Chains A and B, each alone.
Chain A
Amino acid sequence: MTTAAETLPSRARVSFASRAWRFVARHSLTVYALLVVGYLMLPIVVVILFSFNHPTGRFNYVWHKFTFDNWIHWNAVLGIQGAVEKSLEVATLATLVATALGTGIALAIVRHRFVGRGATNVLVFLPLSTPEIVLGSSLLALFLNDQNTIQLGFWTIFIAHVMFIISFVVVTVKARLIGFDRHLEEAAMDLGANEWTTFQKVTLPLIAPAILAAALLGFALSIDDFVITYLNAGPVQTFPIFVWGIARVAVPPQVNVVASAIFLVAIALGLANVFWQYRAARSSRGGS
């Protein structure tokens, strides 16, 4: 396997000393990079490890004994199951709606020149460049303005989530649309397809990977979000809010179980993707 660095031709005039120095430099870089990866992985390992802990006190901070009990009785803690279900509900609904809307906005921004196009672009970018606390509190201010008609709860969380997911969807889908070959659509039209058929049979399948990626990202963001949700949740508990509430009293290992489970599902999807890309890369190399 040749890496980019190795393909650089080494000059003959490079002395032995500087070659030795480069050897050290190269490997120290590798060590450093792996250390940073280790830093990134450390808390994850801790989370998963402590999901198997049998804690002595109320706090799950000190390793005591290995057990599977937490995984078997993951919903033994009052409120955790409801919170997880609520999180999944919000994430699913918000992702579906935000993905549909976001794709529409992305198509409109890339394909059509309309009044306020620039403004839309800025508007989409705004939530991405604003601290969550500001987003959350501005929404809360809006909801509080009209307390008679708006009850904080499931639907305010839903509105908040749709709002911040849309931006991510638009950015992701837009990137794909910009690199899109419009000749394909023209060809479909030349072959007698109308606009809707072309969209369905040509455009949609081609941007489907981006839409899927956007939806997955949105789902992950929604499930993980605490700040915005916390401000707009009212009495409703999603999983992060449940954790926040319980963290002041006691952290049961079941919290780690749920977090590990979410992590493992996500990482499995990610690994599958890596594997698939790796195979695709290999087969294309083999073919050429």
Chain B
Amino acid sequence: MLWLAIFFLVPMVFLGYQSLQSGLFPHFQFTWEFSNFSSALSGYHTQLIRSFVYAGIATLACLVLAYPLAYWIAFRAGPWRNLFLLFIVAPFFVTYLVRTLAWLNILADDGPVVRVLRDIHVLGPDGRLLATTFAVVAGITYNFLPFMALPLYVSLEQIDPRLLEASKDLYASSTQAFLRVTVPLSMPGIVAGTLLTFIPAAGDFINAALLGTPNQAMIGNVIQAKFLDSLDYPTAASLSFILMATILVLLLIYARIVGSEKLTG
């Protein structure tokens, strides 16, 4: 077994090394061209910031949607738990692109949602949902909701109901019991869930491409277009390096706030 590990450690290390280094190794020529970074940053900081804002909103929305759901499954669903867990992961079984395309159906201009919203005057007569920030963020929220719900469920499920009982015996109201017992104990799930949602959401470009317009373009769209359409590898590589570095910095700040042991545990 050890032999096997070493045998595969080497290519894995090589791969990891390459993936970290790629931003500095433009395909054209290696000249320590750090100006790539500054020009990429000045050219695309709007998309970069937008990515993090969208990912942040989507992560919060996921938390708000998923926490009660996970709580309900963990404490109230009884024998139906596994069935509801299956419901949570069900979206994974539909190809990512196809389930995002389904939102095109749902939010379409002459679709039922838009029609109802127009009738109750939430939207103007020409108001639309597609090609708006709302559609993109909603799409991201939908696609990453399971990543939030599953860790939340796992941590909530481990809470011993007797602890809640004890807090009630000590004259805590249910709100107090929830805030001072349940929420702190589910912190690992909240941390894991927000990370699992935020990180891929920040790099996502499918929702922005399908449900949005260039005005909603995220950093992933830029990287993708630079690599495949304009063949501008150095900029694309430095952008993807910047994305990774920013996420790492955010991670470190986050770790500071919630405590690093919670991040790894």
Which A-chain residue is minimally distant from B138 (CB atoms)? A39
A23 an interface residue at 8 Å Cβ cutoff?
A: no
A-chain residues with CB within 8 Å of residue B98 when the two chains form the complex: 47, 243, 255-256, 259
Whether B95 and A262, one on each chain, are in contact in the complex, defined by CB atoms closer than 8 angstroms, is yes
Whether B95 and A243, one on each chain, are in contact in the complex, defined by CB atoms closer than 8 angstroms, is yes
Interface residues of A in 149-166 (CB under 8 A from B): 163, 166
Please measure, in the bound complex, the distance between the C-alpha atom of A227 and the C-alpha atom of B210, giving whole angstroms: 14
B-chain residues with CB within 8 Å of residue A263 when the two chains form the complex: 90, 93-94
Chain B 72-115, CB within 8 Å of chain A: the 1/0 string?
A: 11111111001110111111111111110111111010110000
Whether A141 and B237, one on each chain, are in contact in the complex, defined by CB atoms closer than 8 angstroms, is yes
Would you call the interface of chain A mostly helix, strand, loop, or mixed? helix
| Interface-facing stretch out of A24-32, A65-73, A178-186 | A24-32
B16 an interface residue at 8 Å Cβ cutoff?
A: yes
Whether A3 and B206, one on each chain, are in contact in the complex, defined by CB atoms closer than 8 angstroms, is no
A107 an interface residue at 8 Å Cβ cutoff?
A: yes
B18 an interface residue at 8 Å Cβ cutoff?
A: yes
Interface centre among A4, A29, A62, A123, by most chain B C-beta atoms within 10 angstroms, is A4
B65 an interface residue at 8 Å Cβ cutoff?
A: yes
Please measure, in the bound complex, the distance between the C-alpha atom of A41 and the C-alpha atom of B92, giving whole angstroms: 11
Chain B 117-159, CB within 8 Å of chain A: the 1/0 string?
A: 0000000000000000000000000100110000000000000
Please measure, in the bound complex, the distance between the C-alpha atom of A239 and the C-alpha atom of B96, giving whole angstroms: 11
Could you tell me the distance in whole angstroms from the C-beta of A260 to the nearest C-beta in chain B?
A: 8
B-chain residues with CB within 8 Å of residue A287 when the two chains form the complex: none
A-chain residues with CB within 8 Å of residue B251 when the two chains form the complex: 129
B-chain residues with CB within 8 Å of residue A111 when the two chains form the complex: 1
Compute the total of residue contacts between A and B using a CB distance below 8 Å.
257
B-chain residues with CB within 8 Å of residue A133 when the two chains form the complex: 203-205, 219-220, 223-224, 240, 243
Chain B 183-200, CB within 8 Å of chain A: the 1/0 string?
A: 000000000000100011
Which A-chain residue is minimally distant from B73 (CB atoms)? A33
Interface centre among A7, A112, A266, A277, by most chain B C-beta atoms within 10 angstroms, is A266
Interface centre among B12, B145, B200, B220, by most chain A C-beta atoms within 10 angstroms, is B12
Whether B93 and A9, one on each chain, are in contact in the complex, defined by CB atoms closer than 8 angstroms, is no
B-chain residues with CB within 8 Å of residue A116 when the two chains form the complex: 9
Size range of the interface on B?
Answer: 35 or more
Could you tell me the distance in whole angstroms from the C-beta of A179 to the nearest C-beta in chain B?
A: 14
Interface centre among A5, A50, A138, by most chain B C-beta atoms within 10 angstroms, is A138
Please measure, in the bound complex, the distance between the C-alpha atom of A230 and the C-alpha atom of B225, giving whole angstroms: 11
Known contacts A107-B1, A141-B27; is-contact A43 B102 (Cβ 8 Å): yes
Known contacts A130-B199, A132-B200, A220-B92; is-contact A47 B5 (Cβ 8 Å): no
Chain B 12-25, CB within 8 Å of chain A: the 1/0 string?
A: 11011011101101
Pick from B1, B16, B68: contact of A33, CB under 8 Å: B68
Pick from B4, B74, B164, B227: contact of A104, CB under 8 Å: B4
Please measure, in the bound complex, the distance between the C-alpha atom of A62 and the C-alpha atom of B82, giving whole angstroms: 35
Could you tell me the distance in whole angstroms from the C-beta of A165 to the nearest C-beta in chain B?
A: 13
Known contacts A3-B78, A40-B87, A240-B97; is-contact A104 B8 (Cβ 8 Å): yes
Could you tell me the distance in whole angstroms from the C-beta of B22 to the nearest C-beta in chain A?
A: 4
Could you tell me the distance in whole angstroms from the C-beta of A51 to the nearest C-beta in chain B?
A: 10
B-chain residues with CB within 8 Å of residue A258 when the two chains form the complex: 95
* 9 shortest interchain CB distances as A-B pairs: A131-B203, A108-B5, A43-B102, A33-B72, A138-B19, A141-B22, A266-B93, A259-B98, A104-B4
Known: A29-B71, A231-B224, A273-B82. 12 other contacts (CB 8 A): A5-B161, A33-B76, A44-B102, A47-B94, A105-B8, A108-B2, A130-B19, A130-B199, A131-B244, A137-B240, A141-B23, A256-B98
Chain B interfacial positions (CB closer than 8 Å to A) = 1-2, 4-6, 8-9, 12-13, 15-16, 18-20, 22-23, 25, 27, 65-66, 68-69, 71-79, 82-84, 86-99, 101-106, 108, 110-111, 142, 145-146, 161, 164-165, 168, 174, 195, 199-200, 202-206, 210, 219-220, 223-224, 227-228, 233, 236-237, 240-241, 243-244, 247, 251
